[in-house]
Amino acid sequence: MGVLEVVFLGIALSMDAVAVSMTNGMTAKKLCPRHALLIALFFGVFQALMPLVGYFIADLVASNFVETFEKISSIIAFVLLGFLGGKMIFDCVRGMIKAKKGVEEECDACFSSEKGFSIFKLLMQAVATSIDALAVGITLKMAAMTEQGLALGIFGAVGVIGAITFALSLVAVYIGKALGNKLADKAGVFGGAVLVIIGVKLLLEGIL
């Protein structure tokens, strides 16, 4: 597997993380640089870590188990993102209802000025959007065993994947913030819907 193939693989793997990063920016009441960097870092690290784990456990996973493994990982991703997205929609709709009654309540976004940054939610998002990359690690192992091999080696390959995910996620956070400013109090509902849609997409990709 050549360098260009690894780059395209990294871009493809990063798309779900990019979409969720955009959602985080969209639902943030206030976005400071360290939070944006932390979001991108979480997604970048996990997107690199999962293929690395998959690479080293490839010998333990029988080839006929890979398909089952992909289905299980897609279900886990669906549950995590579905829960986070559903809760976000519920909390924001409840907040809008209370606002109409004169009671102020913020949406339960990934972070806000009052509630602080939620590392746990970010961790769940990072795991959900990267768990399917475990199977990619098995593919990288198979590529390394061919005559062509891995041009960058496994650590170089996952490093490129992680760096691409980090960079694209960082940009996506700020794009999401710009969109969130226009959506105002509806950003939480829209962001939650995006998470649910991504979860459904991952589920369908795994079971079909």
148-199: pLDDT as tens digits: 777 788 889 899 999 999 999 999 999 998 888 777 667 778 778 888 888 8
Q: Which of 14-18, 81-85, 132-136, 184-188 has the weakest average pLDDT?
A: 184-188
The CA-CA-CA angle for residues 26, 36, 200, to 5°, reads 50
Other Cβ atoms closer than 10 A to 21: 32
Mean pLDDT of all residues in 100-111: 53
Whether residue 188 contacts residue 92, with contact meaning beta carbons closer than 8 Å, is answered with yes
54-93: pLDDT as tens digits: 888 876 765 556 667 777 878 888 888 888 888 888 877 7
pTM: 0.80
| Residue 104 pLDDT greater than 60, yes or no | no
DSSP, residue by residue, 79-133: HHHHHHHHHHHHHHHHHHHHHHTT-------SEETTTEE-HHHHHHHHHHHHTTH
| Residue 43 pLDDT greater than 80, yes or no | yes
User: What is the rounded CA–CA span in Å between residue 159 and residue 144?
Assistant: 16
User: What is the rounded CA–CA span in Å between residue 199 and residue 205?
Assistant: 10
Angstrom CA distances, 190 to 129, 173, 177, 184, stand at 18, 15, 13, 10
